[in-house]
Amino acid sequence: MKGIVLKSTGDNGLDSRAIHTALEKALENRKESLSKVLLLPPDFTRAHSGAGEITVKLYNMLKDVCHVDVMPALGTHMPMSDEERIAFFGDEIPRERFIVHNWRDDVIKIGEVPAGFVREISEGIMEESIDVEVNRRLVEGGYDLIISIGQVVPHEVAGMANYSKNVFVGCGGYNMINKTHMLGAVYGMERIMGRDHSPVRKVFDYAEQQFIENIPLMYILTVTTHKEDKVLIHGLFIGRERELFEQAVALSQEKNMQFLDEPPDKVVVYLDPQEFRSTWLGNKAIYRTRMAIADNGELIVLAPGLRQFGEDRDNDQLIRKYGYVGREQVLKHFREQDDLKRNQSVAAHLIHGSSDGRFTITYAPGYLTREEIEGVNFRYMGLEEACRLYNPDKLKDGFNVLDNGEKIFYISNPALGLWAYRGRFM
């Protein structure tokens, strides 16, 4: 296997110098031949990926020998604000070096995953071809090297995030994003999360092998944890080969998945207001805990930054119109309503954000009203009351016994992993 693999031997992660040395090694034989490089880090929603630090290191290594652009892999997310950009990347990279990816308008079609292949990998559940679309700069931008940087972590659509997902979704277009989200939703989240070879991942693998072999692409994959407000990078995997991704998956399964011997009746999740401002992102509280929560259990989401449902106006309006009403009802709307047919990623999101009656979901938002929360089929609790009952400053991650004797399971950031009752996952 080619490539560079660096893993920490203890629990404190890799030190910054070791990471710097590995990045230098990855560039050492090609640095002088480069004239134009594109960096594809995640956006602020992956604040715990370590990718901000790595992007800055790469920029500083390359800025004096070639032109360097940075295009965060936004997918359907809102563009980063200046505040988020500086919080994630610092102020060493000039603002004018950043490019905003527009998933609706900036893409070109480079191929198509055939319907027969989709039928085969989905076990007959879905039979539609999927356009392979990427930001036109990846093909037409004249870059000598494109470096995709990001975190491998359990994911609700792909099974495990990153690798070619960063290209085909993070820098992808309407058709690919919509149809792969729907593919994952109809196949079943519980069959996908925390696993490598999901149907969605197989779509990405097909597209990687068939359509982007000639793009000068290098992947830098991280596996991280978060301890006392510090991101710890436990693994760094640099190269193009899929085997590097598979090694990162194995390490993430070890570091980012927590198996519980008993399913908790009540789970309380806190959403950092800087990171989670929409249910489009904040519903990670649902995705990442649903395999842990007991039948007839309760999920309470403390969301002080929550101010909208979708990451853009069109998606927000569709979520408000249809709501998180359960898989069968969403699929009925999808079959009958043209606006939902045109926005399969929204339909998929509504399925993902529904518990299908197995447990209740209560949001305690900072900005949305009771009417808005209940209008999309969640339960509502005032944030002040929720924080009085479940004070995030006093809770520790894992099981807690409250002063009134109630036992809850607390998660301070759902983006960091996957929690599952052992019997349900296996």
pLDDT tens readout for residues 18-49? 999 999 999 988 888 899 999 999 988 777 88
Q: Write down the pTM of the prediction.
A: 0.89
How many CA within 13 A on the CB side of residue 74?
24
Q: At 11, is the pLDDT very low, low, confident or very high (cuts 50, 70, 90)?
A: confident
Q: What is the rounded distance in angstroms from the CA atom of residue 329 to the CA atom of residue 316?
A: 19
Cα-Cα-Cα-Cα dihedral of 354, 182, 186, 241, to 10°? -110
Question: Are residues 353 and 381 both part of a single domain?
Answer: yes
Which residues partner with 113 through β-bridges?
A: 130
- Identify the pLDDT of residue 2: 79
Separation of CA 132 from chain center:
19
- What the block records as the tokens of 72 is 């965060």
Q: At 12, is the pLDDT very low, low, confident or very high (cuts 50, 70, 90)?
A: confident
- CATH of residue 19: 3.40.50.11440
The three-point CA angle 235-38-92 to 5° equals 75
- 345-399 pLDDT, tens per residue? 999 999 999 999 999 999 999 999 999 999 999 999 999 999 999 999 999 999 9
CB 172 within 8 A of CB 181: no
Question: 133: domain range?
Answer: 4-255
Q: What is the rounded distance in angstroms from the CA atom of residue 226 to the CA atom of residue 268?
A: 18
Which residues partner with 11 through β-bridges?
A: none
Question: Are residues 168 and 313 both part of a single domain?
Answer: no
Question: Are residues 316 and 275 both part of a single domain?
Answer: yes
Question: Are residues 287 and 409 both part of a single domain?
Answer: yes
- Identify the pLDDT of residue 420: 94
- Identify the pLDDT of residue 303: 98
- 145-164 pLDDT, tens per residue? 999 999 999 998 999 999 99
The three-point CA angle 143-145-150 to 5° equals 120
Percent of the chain with pLDDT over 90: 86
The residue among 187, 222, 255 that closes a domain is 255
Residues in the chain: 426
Question: Are residues 96 and 234 both part of a single domain?
Answer: yes
Q: What is the rounded distance in angstroms from the CA atom of residue 378 to the CA atom of residue 3?
A: 46
Q: At 426, is the pLDDT very low, low, confident or very high (cuts 50, 70, 90)?
A: low
The residue among 239, 255, 271 that closes a domain is 255
Question: Are residues 21 and 145 both part of a single domain?
Answer: yes
The residue among 255, 276, 306 that closes a domain is 255
Question: Are residues 61 and 187 both part of a single domain?
Answer: yes
- 282-320 pLDDT, tens per residue? 999 999 999 999 999 999 999 999 999 998 899 999 999
- Identify the pLDDT of residue 245: 97
Query: For residue 83, how many other CB atoms are within 10 A of its CB?
Result: 10
CB 281 within 8 A of CB 311: yes
- Identify the pLDDT of residue 337: 96
Question: Are residues 221 and 328 both part of a single domain?
Answer: no
Mean pLDDT over the full length of the chain: 94
- Identify the pLDDT of residue 1: 54
- What the block records as the tokens of 33 is 């031949």
Question: Are residues 244 and 275 both part of a single domain?
Answer: no
CB 395 within 8 A of CB 268: yes
Question: Are residues 137 and 217 both part of a single domain?
Answer: yes
- 46-102 pLDDT, tens per residue? 778 889 999 999 999 999 999 999 999 998 888 889 999 998 999 999 999 999 999
Three-state secondary structure call for residue 408? strand
Quick one: average pLDDT of 92-114? 94
- CATH of residue 363: 3.90.226.30
Question: Are residues 177 and 303 both part of a single domain?
Answer: no
- Identify the pLDDT of residue 338: 96
pLDDT at residue 279 tops 80 = yes
Question: Are residues 367 and 276 both part of a single domain?
Answer: yes
H or E segment and range at residue 147? strand 145-151
Tally of structural domains, the chain: 2
